[in-house]
Amino acid sequence: MTHTITHHLTDDLILGYSAGTLPEAVNLVIATHISMCDTCRAALHAQDAVGGALVEAAPPASLAMGSLASVLARIQSAPAPEPRVKPRGDVPAPLTDYIGATLADVKWRPVGMGVKQAVLRTSPEATARLLYIPAGTAVPDHGHNGLELTLVLQGAFSDEGGTFRAGDIEVAGDDLEHTPVADISADCICLAVTDAPLRFKGWLPRLAQPFVGI
């Protein structure tokens, strides 16, 4: 990164990611942020260490007869994994399985006012999408019926919560209403995750909402 990341994950999100209790889309945006942020990566390592200590301190559980032999047989019969070559491009590693190695290959769909999106295929509990916001463009004023996580991949945007640049993540709940505006200097590309529909104030965004799925 060329600047210091100033907007980070909450402790609850890091705990849920470490424990494996979050939906796939939420895990994806967290993993992508962690791949870009040394601070949150260190916090995750600390949380993983606590979880490991708790597992070691837990009483042993009894296993059915033959369990170990069954697991070893499955391991021995499994095909050898194919070596993975890390793709080279402008996409953080956790995202490459979903969109490929470069943002230039994303198949965008227009949603109005020059804004485009690409919905990623994840489990249905939450939705992950890439958002392309032209420089200087405002996303319609909206609130939230649940959680919204917005990670900046390129460019920057500003709203009532501050200015968010590449690597920064905004954690928005149902108490935040905001109007994100892309920085005038460059187009903004974000990875956004929601677990409930947004609450738009304007009638036009509300009219379009069922068709764009936001």
- Domain ranges within the chain, ordered by starting residue: 1-214
Q: Report the run of H or E that residue 162 belongs to, with start and end.
A: strand 162-165
Whole-model pTM? Answer: 0.83
Residue 208: predicted pLDDT: 55
Give strand pairing partners of 129: 119, 192
Residue 214 has pLDDT above 80, yes or no: no
Give the C-alpha separation, 38 to 4, whole Å.
10
Q: Report the run of H or E that residue 111 belongs to, with start and end.
A: strand 109-112
Average pLDDT over residues 23-33: 98
pLDDT in tens, 138-150: 987 777 678 999 9
Nearest CA among 166, 185, 153, 158 for reference residue 4: 166
pLDDT in tens, 50-73: 877 777 777 887 878 888 788 888
Joined tokens for residue 137? 């463009």
Give the C-alpha separation, 180 to 142, whole Å.
9
Fold assignment, 1-214: Jelly Rolls (2.60.120)
